[in-house]
Amino acid sequence: MKLRCLIAATFVMVVLSTGFGPGNVAHAESVLEKSMSDTLDTWREGRYEQLFDQLAHRGKTSRESFVRKMRESTIRPACCWQKMENFKILDEKRTEATVYVKIGLEGTPNTDASTTREFKMTHMEGVWKMQLADVLSIAGATGKKGAKKRISKKGP
C-alpha cells in the first residue's frame, strides 16, 4: 500500500514538474499576454523601429517601409485596461501559439473601436512575437480592402 502511494506521489510530482500542471497554463498565458502587451505599448508610444524588431515574419517589408506605413496610420492601440481584453490561448506549441483577444484601438474612423480576433505568435530569439502582417492589418496600413472591416464599433 505504501509503495502505491509513493508511486502515485512520484507520478504527480513528475507531471507537475514537466509543465503539464494547471500552474503552467497560467504561466504560459501570462508570458504570451505580457509579450503582446509590451508589443502594443511599443506601437502606442510610436517607437516603430523598435516595434519592427519585436515582430515576426517580416517577409519583404523593409524596416523603412514599415516605419513609413506606421507613421502614416492614425490607428494605434488604446491605453490601459482597454488595450487588451479577454485574452485566451487557443493553441500553443513550442514555437507557435494562437491567441484570441480583443484589442482596443484609438484613431479609427469610429470614435470607440476595437478588433477581436485570433493572432498567431511565434517564439523567436527567446521571446514571443506578434506577426508583422497582423500589426499592419490592424493599423490599416496593408493596402488591402478588407483590413479596416475588422474594426468594430463598441456599444449598441
Q: Residue 56: which residues within 8 A CB-CB, separation 6 or more? A: 121, 122, 124, 129, 130, 131, 132
* Cα distance between residue 75 and residue 113, in whole Å: 10
- Mean pLDDT for the stretch of residues 114-135: 96
**What average pLDDT does the chain have?**
82
45-93 residue pLDDT tens: 999 999 999 999 868 899 999 999 999 999 999 999 999 999 999 999 9
* Domain-wise residue ranges, the chain: 23-153
pTM of the model: 0.74
* DSSP type of residue 64: H
Query: What's domain 23-153's architecture?
Result: Roll (3.10)
